[in-house]
Structure 1
C-alpha cells in the first residue's frame, strides 16, 4: 500500500492540473477573457510539470528531471504573473 499511494497522488495531481487547463481553455474560447488564456497556459505548464514528476518518480528513476520540473513550474508562475501585469496595464 505504501508504494501505491505516491503513484496515485502523482497521477491525480497530473490529471487535476490537465483538467483545469482544458476547462480554462474552453472558457477562454467562449468568453475571450485574456486572463483565462494566461491561466490556461499556467495550468498547462503545471500539468507538464506533473507529467515529468510522474516520469521522474515512477518510470525513469535513473534520470533526474529536477531541473526540467523547476523550469516548468517557474515558467508557469512567470506566465501567470506576466498575464496579470499585462492585463493590469491594459485596464489603466
Structure 2
C-alpha cells in the first residue's frame, strides 16, 4: 500500500511537470519553465523515495532525496525572485 502512494505521488508530480512544460512551450512564459523544472525535480525525488523505501530498504538515499528536493525548490525560488519582470 505504501508503495502505491509513492507511485501515485510521483505520477501526479510528473503530470504537473509535463503540463507546465507544455504550457511553457506554447506561451514562452518563463515562470512556467521554472515551475515545470521544480515539479520534475520533485518527481525525481519521489521516485528516489520509492526506491529508498520499497526497492532498496537497506540503502540510505536520504541525501539524494533531499538534494533533489532542494534543487527543485531552489529553481522555483530563482524563477519567482530573480526572473520576474521589473516594474
- Residue 18 (structure 2) pairs with residue 22 (structure 1): yes
How far, CA to CA, are the matches of 1:26 and 1:54 in structure 2?
26
Match of 1:67 in 2: 63
1:80, distance to aligned residue in structure 2 (A): 0.2
Runs of 4+ in 1 over 3 A off after TM superposition: none
Q: Structure 2: which 5+ runs fail to align? A: none
| Count of aligned pairs between the two proteins | 87
Question: TM-score of the superposition, structure 2-length normalised?
Answer: 0.95
More helix by percentage: 1
Q: Structure 1: which 5+ runs fail to align? A: none
RMSD: 0.9
- Residue 35 (structure 2) pairs with residue 39 (structure 1): yes
- Residue 80 (structure 2) pairs with residue 78 (structure 1): no
1:39, distance to aligned residue in structure 2 (A): 0.2
Question: TM-score of the superposition, structure 1-length normalised?
Answer: 0.90
1:91 match: secondary structure: coil
Match of 1:10 in 2: 6
1:71, distance to aligned residue in structure 2 (A): 0.7
1:33, distance to aligned residue in structure 2 (A): 0.2
Could you say which structure has the larger radius of gyration? 1
